[in-house]
């Protein structure tokens, strides 16, 4: 980039803006000279739209003609919309008239109270900055890409004499070759499992590798060549690594032919055992290629995007093709205004998708987007090679797009069916517990511990779209005020922390109006409509006491007590204003309640086990200041265990490679309680 974006204007404002389209100046621009003379008090325009247009007009008067990014804010300072423009003055001028807008633009103008601008050197720079701000600020009226988890990759390391084959997710902070992306962790695990059989590379960590004295089980079952104990020479292992890299970079045919040639040579030399091992490796390679689904013949590397719309919702299906192989697909359901065309949603989605991901040589789309040339240029500049964006009309590339489109339609149909079923279940839940209307947010609480140790409180959240995992929370129960093993005390502590946080945030309980819910079905409140507690009367009373102490009203409370002998289907339900009751064993509402309770139980148990496992693997060396991973490894390599280190003399500690006298003294003093 030629220069950093600069804040052009940053004034307090009060409004609400609603435009979810790609801001590529596709609308007709107003004549600049005429814009200054606009009649802002047109009787046909609602008063709120007039006020918003007046606010925008004041900002417009001092804007430059160059490219940049603009933000629209409401009276509370919340960002409502982020847009880019080739010319800020021309683009913003289109919002200064009080009439003639489609409904969503009118709503945006009506709520706008302030604007902030950032100028950029080029329109491409504005495009990238816009995507960055949308991801950070999540404006209400932009197309928002959700479920933005990083993709998993396969990594062949280069920071060790015997490279490791492993799964990688996140920043590329380790030296090595990265292959991907894969659509999900399952696809990576299956491929890794087969690569192990085909190339026998180690998958263990460096610390595990360095402490082996004999081959592990993977060597015995022919999933590793055993470089840790020199079962294979360095040169032969390096050849396996080279074959792996060749295979993952698209030279699979050459690798298979070379292995087949070696197998025949060994067979001709009557070395049948070694030939059999090569036969098994060739079979594993065939399994990788045969399990990839549709594998294109003419497309070596591409991402395929297809969008479909139905019932005001969008689904974008993404397929990943690398080295002529299908490496999986993922469905996205971006939040967007229901009036937006598929081209507009796809355009905004693409910019956000590639904001932090590497792009392939080819991007195939089901719909043509206006910004494809600009986005192609931006991605080409970032990747330092040409990135082509195309909308194929025929041939194999079109077949790939059509296949993605079919998957998009099926995924959206499943989501709509699930949402309909979920809404019916929530309505039945509200009826069962005597709520005035179906709950939009249900919070379920549970805790887990073993004799009071590693105690964890867990909250899971359910709504119209199912379990809302981004809203899950865990609570560490390490307070001295809680008696170990006191389930009631843990529940009180958890609920108190939960609602004190809500009260501190000062968000109203009825923060979502019926109009907002109608406009955005995915809008999700912060306050629960219903609390569901896993427990009996004691847990119920403990929760009710906390809610009363904090003055929380308007939140329904129910508890699920396990049946006799903990039998599923014989649970007792407790709710205020009713005697304890049971539902029929085949009642769908009871199944739904069991699902909610079991999910809270699963989440609590899983978090508790993770914490317990961490404690099991904790070493006293972790508590010593100045002892990092390298020195810890050196000490363990020299003495074997932390217990042996604690018994070592100061002189022995000083002899360890990488440990100087000062560090040795710190370690010695730690284990002998010396100042």
Q: What one-character DSSP code corresponds to residue 620?
A: G
Of 367, 391, 412, which residue sits at a domain end? 412
Least confident range from 404-418, 435-449, 568-582: namely 568-582
Whole-number Å distance between alpha carbons of 649 and 668: 7
Q: Which of 91-95, 544-548, 636-640 has the lowest mean pLDDT?
A: 636-640
Residue 542 has pLDDT above 80, yes or no: yes
- Looking at the fold, whether 361 and 313 belong to one and the same domain comes out as yes
- Please check whether residue 428 lies inside any domain of the structure: no
Domain count, the chain: 5
Nearby residues of 560 by Cβ (< 8 Å), 6 or more positions away: 532, 533, 534, 535, 571, 572, 573, 574, 593, 597
Q: Are residues 473 and 604 in the same domain?
A: yes
422 within domain boundaries: no
The reply to whether 461 and 586 lie within a common domain is: yes
Which domain, by its residues, includes 524? 442-614
| pLDDT, the chain, mean | 80
Residue 480 inside a domain? The answer is yes
User: 65, 87 in Cβ contact below 8 A?
Assistant: yes
Measured CA to CA in angstroms, residue 663 lies from 286, 476, 635, 640, 673 at distances of 53, 33, 11, 18, 15
Long-range contacts of 661-667 (CB under 8 A, 24+ apart): 663/626, 663/627, 663/631, 666/624, 666/625, 666/626, 666/627, 667/621, 667/624, 667/627, 667/635
Q: How high is the pLDDT of residue 388?
A: 92
Domain boundary among 573, 592, 614: 614
pLDDT at 532: 92
**Helix (H), strand (E), coil (C) string for 205-250:** CHHHHHCCCCCCHHHHCCCCCCHHHCCCCHHHHHHHHHHHHHHHCC
Average pLDDT of 342-350? 91
pLDDT in tens, 22-69: 333 433 344 444 444 444 445 456 778 888 888 888 888 888 888 899
pLDDT at 267: 76
Q: What is the pLDDT of residue 316?
A: 94
Q: Is the pLDDT of residue 13 over 60?
A: no
* Confidence label for 514 from pLDDT (cuts 50, 70 and 90): low
Is the model more confident about 616 or about 239? 239
Structure-token pair, residue 92: 């913003």
Whether residues 46 and 81 fall in one domain? yes
Query: Is residue 501 within 8 Å of 473, Cβ to Cβ?
Result: no
Q: Output the DSSP codes for 452-483.
A: TEEEEEEEEEEETTEE-GGG-EEEE---TTS-
Instruction: State yes or no: pLDDT of 291 exceeds 80.
Output: no
For 517-539, the pLDDT digits (tens) are: 655 556 788 889 999 988 888 88
> Do 609 and 625 fall within a single domain?
no
Q: What is the pLDDT of residues 223-267, one digit of tens each?
A: 898 999 989 999 989 988 988 887 777 665 666 667 677 777 777
Both 457 and 605 in a single domain?
A: yes
Last residue of a domain, one of 290, 314, 335: 290
Reported pTM: 0.68
Give a yes or no: residue 24 inside a domain: yes
- Predicted local confidence at residue 401, as pLDDT: 94
* Interatomic CA distance for residues 318 and 314, integer angstroms: 13
Predicted confidence at residue 604, as pLDDT, reads 86
Based on the domain organization, do 448 and 588 belong to the same domain? yes
In a domain, 566, yes or no: yes
Tokens of 462: 């359910």
Residue with tokens 């490279």: 163
Higher-pLDDT residue of 286 and 353 is 353
Tell me the mean pLDDT in the region 297-321: 89
Does 560 lie in the same domain as 580?
yes
Lowest mean pLDDT across 16-30, 133-147, 529-543: 16-30
Measured CA to CA, the distance from residue 118 to residue 71 in angstroms comes to 9
> Domain containing 105 — which CATH number?
3.40.1440.10
Q: 14 or 229, which is more confident?
A: 229
- Own/partner pairs for 74-77, CB < 8 Å, 24+ apart? 74/13, 74/14, 74/15, 74/16, 74/17, 74/111, 74/112, 74/113, 74/114, 75/13, 75/14, 75/15, 75/113, 76/14, 77/12, 77/13, 77/114
69, part of any domain: yes
Whether the per-residue pLDDT at 287 is higher than 60: the answer is no
Question: What average pLDDT does this structure show over 181-198?
Answer: 80
Per-residue pLDDT for 7 more than 70? no
- End-to-end CA distance of the chain: give it in Å, rounded: 55
Q: What CATH number is attached to the domain comprising 574? A: 3.30.420.340
Q: What is the pLDDT of residues 392-405, one digit of tens each?
A: 999 999 999 999 99
Query: Both 470 and 605 in a single domain?
Result: yes
Q: Are residues 30 and 84 in the same domain?
A: yes
Residue 465: inside a domain, yes or no?
yes
Q: Domain of 662: which CATH number?
A: 1.10.150.20
Is position 597 within any domain? Answer: yes
Largest CA distance in the chain: 97
Q: What's the pLDDT score for residue 402?
A: 93
Give residue-wise pLDDT tens across range 86-106.
888 888 888 888 777 777 788
- Say which range, 375-379, 469-473, 482-486, 564-568, has the weakest mean pLDDT: 564-568
Whether residues 447 and 406 share a domain: the answer is: no
Backbone angles phi, psi at 479, to 5 degrees: -65, 140
pLDDT at 441: 92
609 and 626 assigned to the same domain? no
Q: Spell out where 236-299 has E strands.
A: none
């Amino acid at each position: 980039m030629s220069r950093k974006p600069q804040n052009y204007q940053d004034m307090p404002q009060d409004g609400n803006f609603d435009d979810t389209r790609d801001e590529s100046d596709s609308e007709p621009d107003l004549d600049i000279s005429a814009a200054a003379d606009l009649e802002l008090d047109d009787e046909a325009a609602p008063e709120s739209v007039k006020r918003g247009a007046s606010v925008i007009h004041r900002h417009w008067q001092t804007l430059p003609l160059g490219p940049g990014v603009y933000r629209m804010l409401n009276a509370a300072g919340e960002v409502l919309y982020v847009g880019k423009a080739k010319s800020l003055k021309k683009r913003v001028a289109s919002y200064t008239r009080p009439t003639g807008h489609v409904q969503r633009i009118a709503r945006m103008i009506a709520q706008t109270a302030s604007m902030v601008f950032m100028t950029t050197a080029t329109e491409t720079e504005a495009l990238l900055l816009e995507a960055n701000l949308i991801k950070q600020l999540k404006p209400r009226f932009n197309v928002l890409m959700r479920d933005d988890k990083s993709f998993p990759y396969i990594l062949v390391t280069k920071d060790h004499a015997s490279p490791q084959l492993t799964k990688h997710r996140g920043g590329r902070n380790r030296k090595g070759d990265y292959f991907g992306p894969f659509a999900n962790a399952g696809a990576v695990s299956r491929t890794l499992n087969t690569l192990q059989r085909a190339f026998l590379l180690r998958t263990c960590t460096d610390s595990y590798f360095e402490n082996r004295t004999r081959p592990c089980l993977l060597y015995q079952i022919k999933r590793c060549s055993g470089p840790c104990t020199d079962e294979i020479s360095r040169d032969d292992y390096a050849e396996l690594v080279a074959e792996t890299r060749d295979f993952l970079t698209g030279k699979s045919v050459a690798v298979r032919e070379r292995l087949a040639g070696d197998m025949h040579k060994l067979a001709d030399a009557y070395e049948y055992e070694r030939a059999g091992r090569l036969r098994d490796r060739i079979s594993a390679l065939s399994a990788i290629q045969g399990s990839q689904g549709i594998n294109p013949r003419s497309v070596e590397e591409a991402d395929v995007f297809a969008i479909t719309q139905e019932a005001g919702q969008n689904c974008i299906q993404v397929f990943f093709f690398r080295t002529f192989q299908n490496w999986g697909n993922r469905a996205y359901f971006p939040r967007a205004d229901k009036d937006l065309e598929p081209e507009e949603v796809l355009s905004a989605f693409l910019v956000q998708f590639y904001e932090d991901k590497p792009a392939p040589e080819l991007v195939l789309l089901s719909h043509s987007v206006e910004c494809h040339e600009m986005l192609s240029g931006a991605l080409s500049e970032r990747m330092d090679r040409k990135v082509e964006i195309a909308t194929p009309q025929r041939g194999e590339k079109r077949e790939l797009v059509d296949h993605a489109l079919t998957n998009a339609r099926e995924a959206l149909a499943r989501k709509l069916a699930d949402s309909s079923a979920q809404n019916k279940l929530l309505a039945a839940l509200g009826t069962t517990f005597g709520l005035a209307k179906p709950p939009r947010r249900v919070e379920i609480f549970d805790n887990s511990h073993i004799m009071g140790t590693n105690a964890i409180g867990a909250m899971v959240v359910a709504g119209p779209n199912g379990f809302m995992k981004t809203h899950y929370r865990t609570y560490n129960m390490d307070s001295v005020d809680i008696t170990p093993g006191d389930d009631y005390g843990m529940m009180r502590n958890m609920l108190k922390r939960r609602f004190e946080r809500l009260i501190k945030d000062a968000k109203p309980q009825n923060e979502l109006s019926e109009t907002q819910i109608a406009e955005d079905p995915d809008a999700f409140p912060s306050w629960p409509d219903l609390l569901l507690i896993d427990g009996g009367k004691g847990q119920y009373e403990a929760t009710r006491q906390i809610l009363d102490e904090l003055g929380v009203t308007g939140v329904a409370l129910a508890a699920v007590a396990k049946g006799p002998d903990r039998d599923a289907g014989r649970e007792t339900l407790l709710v205020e204003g009713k005697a304890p009751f049971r539902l029929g064993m085949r009642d769908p509402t009871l199944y739904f309640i069991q699902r909610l309770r079991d999910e809270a139980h699963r989440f609590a148990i899983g978090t508790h086990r993770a914490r317990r496992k961490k404690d099991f693997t904790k070493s006293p060396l972790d508590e010593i200041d100045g002892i990092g991973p390298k020195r810890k490894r050196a000490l363990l390599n020299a003495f074997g265990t932390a217990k042996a280190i604690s018994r070592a003399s100061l002189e022995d500690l000083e002899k360890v490679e990488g440990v100087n006298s000062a560090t040795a003294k710190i370690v010695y003093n730690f284990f002998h309680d010396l100042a």
